[in-house]
Structure 1
Amino acid sequence: MAKKKAYPLRINENVLAAMERWAADDLRSVNAQIEYVLRQALVKQGRVKLVEKVIVEVEDIEPPDGEEN
């Protein structure tokens, strides 16, 4: 997995509340949910290379550690 970099984010409180609810629904942390939404938007807009696009898709379907398909 690629190295992650910390980045401070200022966000509207209503947007954050919506992200918190969405993250809870998807059993993700808010940080992971924000990253997921950003990656999906980048793929949709063609802003990532094909290799990165495949990595995003694999990360989305990869089962949790210790579980098999």
Structure 2
Amino acid sequence: MEQKDKDKKQILLRLSSSLWEELASWAQDDFRSINGQIEFLLTDSVRQRRKKDLPDTDET
């Protein structure tokens, strides 16, 4: 793991009660903390965006 991944940044995040409940339920289903679930979702979103932004190398 790179050093930049080890250094975690702390942020204040305000969520609606309904979103909090949805995330809490989802996190429990996946055996994660709510913080872990949010980090997982954000990481997955960034990976998907990177894949989408990569140029298509298939020139057929």
Do the structures match in fold with TM over 0.5? yes
**Residue 31 (structure 1) aligned with residue 35 (structure 2):** yes
Equivalent residue number for residue 8 of structure 2: 4
The structure, 1 or 2, with the larger RCO (C-alpha pairs under 8 Å, 6+ apart) is 2
Larger radius of gyration: 2
Identity of aligned residues (%): 34
Structure 1: which 4+ aligned runs deviate by more than 2 Å? none
Q: What number of residue pairs does the alignment pair up?
A: 47
Normalising by the residue count of structure 1, what TM-score does the alignment of the two structures yield?
0.62
Normalising by the residue count of structure 2, what TM-score does the alignment of the two structures yield?
0.71
Unmatched segments (≥5 aa) in structure 1: 48-69
Q: Tell me the distance in 1 between the aligned counterparts of 2:18 and 2:49.
A: 25
The root-mean-square deviation of aligned C-alpha atoms, in Å, is 1.4
Unmatched segments (≥5 aa) in structure 2: 52-60
